[in-house]
Amino acid sequence: MRQNPRTGYVDRLMQHIDEPRVEVNVLDAARFSLSAGQLARVSSPRGVMVARVAIGDAQRPGELFVPMHWNRVFARQGKVNALVDTRCDPLSGQPESKQTAVRIMPWRPRWQGELYARELPELPPEVYWWRKASRLTLAGDAPLLAWVMAYASGRGWQLQVAQTGERSSVLAWQHGELMLGYWEGHTLPALAHAFIEEAFAAAPVQLAERHALLHGQRPGKDADPGRIICSCFSVGENTIRKAIAGGCDSAVALGVKLRCGTNCGSCVPELKGLLGECKDVG
């Protein structure tokens, strides 16, 4: 049976743009102290939403763009419709959804994290979450680590915990199966997501593998590709950044080396954005 892409349950499609984001012109980003990849609150007199910031020159100064297809199933406070006025055209009945005056401000939550579970729990109302293909990305100001541990312990699961400075993590096991994994930090932890998903399918048995899993990394030197940028060829952000550091200085060069951007081309703007970010850092 073919799966309807509009259901939002196609894992490969969700790997590309997997959470609400707000696109901001570079001039406005500087004006409002916004950084690429950070979270921001966008508000209007009607409501508020939270989205991750993307910076570029696609938007004109003074304008923001937010995709409209996120709903309460996939994000808590991720709906741009929460900001839109309820006025409708008297003849057609169409809502005035094409433009809305808003305010944008950076949000620096106390923590950000990733939660994997065989059955995702209902989280406390103060936690912001974004449902991805196989996990929840989380953020908040009120601590969550103790809540996760209590949730897992209450189900009789065996806990494996690590706390090192700015990072904390929990694995919960039952009869040798991984039931839950949680990783938290002051910034969003960079994890080997493919390895974590493999661990839910077949739990690692070697001590070194379990230790690496507790820290969200794959044992050995295999690099995690990162967030998928090119859905056509499954090329991740970390792989692209590494290629840029290795000398690829254009979207064409990245396409030659990694094939990204050479099929449908929808990821080319993001490739150019990463090239610009790496150039600014350099």
Least Cα distance to 49 among 19, 77, 70, 71 occurs for: 77
Q: How far is CA 258 from CA 17, 82, 107, 150, in A?
A: 19, 39, 34, 44
pTM across the whole model: 0.74
Q: What's the rounded Cα separation, in Å, for the pair 28 and 34?
A: 8
Buried b / exposed e over 44-81, threshold 16 CB at 10 Å, is beeeebbbbbbbbeebeeeebebeeebeeebbbbbbbb
Which residue is it, tokens 């690692």? 204
pLDDT (0 to 100) of residue 14 = 54
pLDDT (0 to 100) of residue 15 = 53
pLDDT one digit per residue (tens) for the chain, 282 residues: 333 444 445 555 555 567 888 999 999 999 999 988 899 999 999 899 999 998 888 889 999 998 877 788 888 888 888 888 878 888 888 777 777 889 999 999 999 999 999 999 999 999 999 998 789 999 999 889 999 999 999 999 999 999 887 889 999 999 999 999 999 999 888 888 889 999 999 999 898 999 999 999 888 755 567 777 887 777 888 889 889 989 999 999 999 999 998 887 878 888 988 888 776 555
User: Are the C-beta atoms of residues 40 and 51 closer than 8 Å to each other?
Assistant: yes
Sign of the torsion formed by the C-alpha atoms of 220, 186, 146 and 179: negative
Q: What are phi and psi of 97, to 5 degrees?
A: -105, 0
Q: In what order do the strands lie in the sheet with 167-174?
A: 128-131, 136-140, 111-117, 177-185, 167-174, 158-164
pLDDT (0 to 100) of residue 281 = 54
User: Are the C-beta atoms of residues 232 and 246 closer than 8 Å to each other?
Assistant: no
